Amino acid sequence: MSQANRTAPGGSPERLGAMQAARLLARREITAEQLTRACLDRIQAREPIIKAWTCVQADAAIERARQLDRGPIQGLLHGLTLGVKDLFDTADLPTTYGSPIYRGHRPKSDAASVALCRQAGAVILGKTVSTEFATFQPGPTRNPVNPDHTPGGSSSGSAAAVADYMSHLAFGTQTAGSIVRPAAFCGIVGYKPSFNHVTRAGVKSLSESLDTVGALARSVEDVALLVAALTHDRRLLDLDWQGTARIGLCRTPWWDAADPDAQAALESARIALSRAGATVSDASLPGSFAGLVDIQQEIMAFEAFQALSHERLTAAEQISPSLTALLQRGESITFQRHQENLANAELARRDMDMVFNGYDLLLTPGASGEAPRFEASTGDPLFCRSWTLLGLPCVQLPVTTGATGLPVGVQLVGRYAADPALLRIARWAEGRLAA
């Protein structure tokens, strides 16, 4: 069940869904300053435990909210609070990319997506914690459901801030599983749009073939709202779904890596959506799908070695052992091998596109189960790597809780560039899974 659906109208401002708050703001039934102060109060109360933020600009956020309250409705995000992942350049806030190499770094300009959100009326509260260059070395952020566990990575601070009602919206990025997995672990909604649908200008690059900017929020309509503001694709705001959804149940070749909680969540979703009228049947994947995890890992390593050339050549001692190992693997991959990987990925995209002739979307795990203990890892992106490589749009929905009471969800995967259809059915499914 998404957290937004547990929030009654008229509740505390920080607990309003973003779209719900936007409607109240448009009618002047609530002010941007009220929303902003409520979130800042929540941050003050909970940040010592959750550690979701690298910095918070309370005074600037309140002043921005007051300016918005004095003027006309500015755009789709007017008055809504936003957390910016510390992978995005910001002209008014430090940007460290999750690395000690960039401690105190102050970019001269905003990332394009940050600028677009300001233009649309968002109130930026601060920067949320990212893992090191969006890889696997964790930051200090804890899971708000149980602080003894990880919130996932790399969009760890963004997922935790949204899940803990510190912000209505937050940016995420995904190169392997860094939107879907933290959303799953924190029990919220994550949306990774189709590849190249959202500009990456001003976002620290890790892999040019994989990096994708997306959204974290507490409902499907909220993530759609943020991405609509970023893309100017107003089709994402029309979430009415009429018809019978054709859903392919996709356990993937790695089904044995899903723990009993993840397997039960997928089965629970299958039953609920079937009872609600969807046609759910087992999806057959093309043979080219089986090798995609290895291909994704090699592409990511090869391109990370290139993208982080300055850092590895000038500050290697400040790079973590896990990232050093990734870069060393990337160095060992030849250009010819990389070109073969890109070609094989393109062939798999064509094969997968044929699968969607029979389905509106695929229903699959988004994570292997509940969030691991904090000291263990940020989790395994196994169930996301292939979809990221294929560039397909993905939505993570909360479904249930696992054996220790932590959230477990499912992932909905759509056809490339069919984001509006995926979001419509995802919102329909969200209501049925929350029933």
Residues with catalytic function: 85, 154, 178
108 in Cβ contact with 150 (< 8 Å): no
Residue pointed to by tokens 């200090």: 140
Q: Can you give the length of the chain in residues?
A: 435
What distance in Å separates the CA atoms of residue 361 and residue 249, rounded to the nearest whole number? 9
What distance in Å separates the CA atoms of residue 92 and residue 89, rounded to the nearest whole number? 9
The total of other beta-carbon atoms located within 10 Å of residue 269's CB is 26
| Region class of 369: left (phi > 0), else alpha (psi between -120 and 50), else beta | left
CA 162 to chain centre: 11
Phi, psi of 322 (to 5 degrees): -65, -40
DSSP 163-200: HTTS-SEEEEEESSSTTHHHHHHHTSEEEEPSTTSS--
Helices (H) and strands (E) in the chain, counts: 14, 11
Beta-sheet strands, E only, within 294-381: 361-364
421 in Cβ contact with 242 (< 8 Å): no
Residue 237 parent element (H or E): none
What distance in Å separates the CA atoms of residue 336 and residue 274, rounded to the nearest whole number? 46
β-sheet with 212-217: strand ranges across: 53-56, 123-128, 81-85, 169-174, 212-217, 189-192, 394-401, 407-413, 361-364, 246-249, 279-282
Residue pointed to by tokens 């002010």: 31
At residue 252's C-alpha, the angle toward residues 280 and 294, to 5°, is 150
